[in-house]
């Protein structure tokens, strides 16, 4: 019997499917509720798969949109960063120009108050070794600069010209040990010589002991050295010498100018010295007769 069923399995299966199909057809043709068990099974299988596909598609779409938005935001961020750097550079340049214009206006205003001609120059180099303290300017003999000319800034005395070339010159700074400026204490008019090379920067020397000088006193040029105009700021007394003997007093002076921050200066022609004419026989005779 089993042998027979095995041999007849294909025709029997086909006949069974045909009978089931005919039964479903007859049942559905009577107008009642539609009977479709295979459709129900197919619907049960397909619905979760379709739902899963919809979710995957939605997730992929959202992920792609987020990626596109992220790329756009990153590009916009990089553009904004570059723009900020550009604006910062422009602001720095504008600030530097404004600062330079302020300094140049101050120098021009100072030049108008000087009794002699002056040339504006830019500092192009500096040397601050243990032996020398000098600076290099971009103006030289072709610009009217000569050795012995005074160099000043808006804050006060810078130094004096010690060497020139056609288009450059060298300044011996005020705080160099070889410098020397005839000076006055502004408050009491006590006179002395300011020299460089001290711990504070400069030293006021040869002030008579009876003179009244104090810490905090301002020191200015006397105009008697034939180099610097009178009344320019030199510095401030920050310490008095403790020596009790001798005819003179010494004081430490902090320069009014910060040499490391200088950029522009004025090179000032020394005041002209009027040399009296040589005495003649007539003037000698008149002097003798008057005596």
pTM of the model: 0.61
Same domain? 104 vs 131: no
* 31 belongs to a structural domain: no
The closest of 259, 270, 252 to 194, measured between CA atoms, is: 252
**pLDDT band at residue 31, thresholds of 50, 70 and 90?**
low
Same domain? 169 vs 232: yes
Q: How many CB atoms lie within 10 A of CB 198?
A: 19
Question: Which residue has better confidence, 210 or 93?
Answer: 210
Same domain? 122 vs 109: no
* 13 belongs to a structural domain: no
pLDDT tens digits, one per residue of 87-145: 787 777 777 666 666 666 667 767 777 878 889 999 998 886 667 789 999 999 999 99
Who contacts 21 (Cβ-Cβ below 8 Å, separation ≥6)?
none
pLDDT tens digits, one per residue of 144-164: 999 999 999 988 999 999 999
* 133 belongs to a structural domain: yes
Supply the CATH number for residue 154's domain: 2.40.10.340
* 281 belongs to a structural domain: no
Same domain? 76 vs 172: no
Question: Which residue has better confidence, 26 or 210?
Answer: 210
DSSP structure string for 224-255: -SSSSPTT-EEEEEEEE----SSSEEEEEEEE
Q: How many domains does the chain have?
A: 2
The C-alpha atoms of residue 186 and residue 258 are separated, in whole angstroms, by 20
Same domain? 105 vs 243: no
The closest of 266, 282, 270, 278 to 118, measured between CA atoms, is: 266
Q: What pLDDT, on a 0 to 100 scale, did the predictor assign at position 75?
A: 81
Domain end call among 113, 147, 167: 113
Same domain? 149 vs 263: yes
Who contacts 160 (Cβ-Cβ below 8 Å, separation ≥6)?
148, 149, 150, 151, 171, 172, 179, 227, 228
Same domain? 122 vs 226: yes
Q: What pLDDT, on a 0 to 100 scale, did the predictor assign at position 99?
A: 65
Same domain? 139 vs 247: yes
The closest of 134, 193, 192 to 159, measured between CA atoms, is: 134
Query: Residue 251 pLDDT > 80, yes or no?
Result: yes
Same domain? 106 vs 143: no
* 260 belongs to a structural domain: yes
Question: Which residue has better confidence, 168 or 107?
Answer: 168
Check: CB of residue 188 under 8 Å from CB of residue 212: yes
* 288 belongs to a structural domain: no
Domain end call among 113, 136, 159: 113
Domain end call among 113, 132, 147: 113
Same domain? 54 vs 144: no
Same domain? 188 vs 99: no
DSSP-derived secondary structure letter, 276: P
pLDDT tens digits, one per residue of 48-82: 777 777 778 778 787 877 777 777 777 888 888 88
The C-alpha atoms of residue 143 and residue 7 are separated, in whole angstroms, by 125
Same domain? 147 vs 194: yes
Query: Residue 185 pLDDT > 70, yes or no?
Result: yes
Domain residues for the domain of 98 are 36-113
């Amino acid at each position: 019997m089993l042998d027979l069923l095995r041999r007849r399995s294909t025709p029997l299966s086909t006949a069974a499917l045909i009978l089931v199909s005919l039964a479903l057809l007859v049942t559905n043709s009577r107008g009642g509720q539609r009977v479709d068990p295979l459709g129900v099974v197919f619907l049960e299988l397909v619905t979760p798969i379709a739902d899963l596909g919809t979710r995957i598609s939605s997730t992929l779409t959202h992920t792609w949109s987020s990626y596109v938005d992220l790329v756009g935001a990153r590009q916009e961020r990089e553009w904004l960063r570059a723009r900020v750097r550009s604006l910062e550079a422009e602001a720095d340049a504008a600030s530097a120009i404004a600062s330079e214009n302020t300094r140049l206006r101050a120098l021009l205003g100072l030049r108008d108050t000087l009794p002699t001609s002056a040339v504006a120059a830019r500092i192009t180099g500096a040397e601050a070794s243990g032996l020398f303290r000098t600076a290099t300017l971009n103006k030289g003999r072709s610009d009217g600069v000569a050795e012995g000319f005074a160099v000043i800034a808006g804050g006060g005395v810078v130094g004096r010209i010690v060497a020139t070339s056609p288009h450059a010159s060298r300044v011996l700074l005020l705080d160099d040990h070889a410098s020397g400026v005839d000076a006055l204490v502004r408050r009491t008019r006590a006179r002395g010589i300011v020299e460089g090379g001290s711990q504070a920067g400069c030293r006021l020397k040869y002030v008579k002991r009876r003179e009244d000088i104090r810490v905090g006193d301002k020191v200015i040029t006397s105009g008697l050295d034939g180099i610097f105009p009178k009344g320019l700021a030199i510095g401030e007394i920050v310490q008095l010498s403790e020596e009790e003997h001798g005819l003179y007093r010494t004081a430490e002076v902090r320069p009014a100018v910060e040499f490391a921050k200088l950029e522009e200066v004025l090179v000032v022609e020394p005041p002209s010295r009027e040399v009296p004419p040589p005495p003649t026989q007539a003037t000698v005779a008149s002097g003798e007769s008057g005596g």
